[in-house]
Amino acid sequence: MLDTPACALLADAQEGLNRPQKTLSPKWFYDARGSALFEQITRLPEYYPTRTEAAILRTDALRLAGLVPPGGALVELGSGASVKTRTLLDAGGHFGAYVPIDISEEFLLETAAHLRARYPYLPVHPVVGDFTQAVILPEAIVDQPKVGFFPGSTIGNLDPGEAVALLARARVWPGITRFVLGADLVKEQGDLIAAYDDAAGVTAAFNRNVLHRLNREVGADFDVPVFRHEARWCEDPARIEMHLVATRAQVVHLAGQDIHFAEGESIHTESCRKYTRRTLATLAAQAGWRLEDMLTDPRDRFAVAILTV
């Protein structure tokens, strides 16, 4: 008998692996091992997004922390290890609560425990949830003013329609006043490919983790080393795509079904959309937000957009 997340994983895999271009959603990268691998990625020399966004947040920490009204809640989507959040909490905001929302349950609950130890005065209400669907906010913060926070360029993993829908749902959270959104900007192709195909092979292990999950959690029999990690640049819309490419033909068994792979056939596992100032402003407007400001680094590699209702 599969538990609920495993049922959802199986249903998604059955649907995605039967498409002409086989696909798996990037949300399935993140079990405890996937979340730990992502943290390793953030420290890789090639992976500029984390360092660049963290520097922008540090530079403007007082202003960003000040966006949360005294006693208000900071609600973070895809919070991971909440490392960037600490920059805002340490900037001395008088936060009434912190609500980290993430699909990776074990990692989320561990992170919440660390945060409670570090900020004993701060109510932390973790929510295990999928932000591609409506997320139910904790009762405790419903009446509080709140600011949304979505760093990590995770918005880039959503297709354009999903990204608009997510921002539009957040726009009507009761008491929401602002939304702080981190997005990666278009840049030199070589830098982009290197960031998603590091020399140490950590991103490759992160990508393959989804196949290990399918084997372990829903009884598939992927021969994982047969799948090669590949990062591809695609122009329109501007994005990096991550694929797992079968280096030889194989048949994978998934819940009684045969999934055939030809040699060279790939599973598309993630898109990482890269924005320009213009496309980011358009995205915000389509979801009903007003762009109050866009903070960038000196080389315009990454943007932190401040959206207001």
Ligand X SMILES: C[S@@+](CC[C@H](N)C(=O)[O-])C[C@H]1O[C@@H](n2cnc3c(N)ncnc32)[C@H](O)[C@@H]1O
- Which positions touch ligand X (CB under 6 A)? 27, 30, 35, 38, 42, 50, 78-80, 84, 102-104, 129-132, 151-152, 154
3-state secondary structure of 88: helix
Least distance in Å: CB of 166 to ligand X?
A: 9
Q: By C-beta, is 149 or 222 nearer to ligand X?
A: 149
Distance, in Å, from the CA atom of 76 to the CA atom of 78, rounded to the nearest integer, reads: 7
**Length in residues, the chain:** 309
For the CB of residue 14, give the shortest distance to ligand X in the complex, in Å: 18
Rg (CA), the chain: 19
Q: Is the Cβ of residue 154 or residue 207 nearer to ligand X in the bound state? A: 154
Name which of 31 and 178 has its Cβ closer to ligand X. Answer: 31
Sequence-ordered alpha helix ranges (H) in 176-276 = 189-195, 202-218
Q: To the nearest whole angstrom, how small is the minimum distance from the Cβ of residue 174 to ligand X?
A: 20
User: Could you tell me the smallest distance in angstroms from the CB atom of residue 2 to ligand X?
Assistant: 19
125 CB neighbour count, 10 Å cutoff: 17
Measured in degrees and rounded to the nearest 5, phi and psi for residue 116 equal -65, -40
Q: How far is the CB of 103 from ligand X (least distance, A)?
A: 4
CA 62 – CA 76 distance, rounded (Å): 18
Identify which of residues 30 and 48 has a Cβ nearer to ligand X in the complex.
Answer: 30
Q: Minimal distance in Å, beta carbon 184 to ligand X?
A: 10
- Between 95 and 196, name the residue whose CB sits nearer to ligand X: 196
Closest Cα partner for 173 from 204, 133, 209, 136?
A: 136
Comparing CB distances to ligand X, the nearer of 96 and 151 is: 151
Peptide bond into 145 cis (omega under 30): no
Measure the CA–CA gap between 104 and 106, rounded to whole angstroms: 6
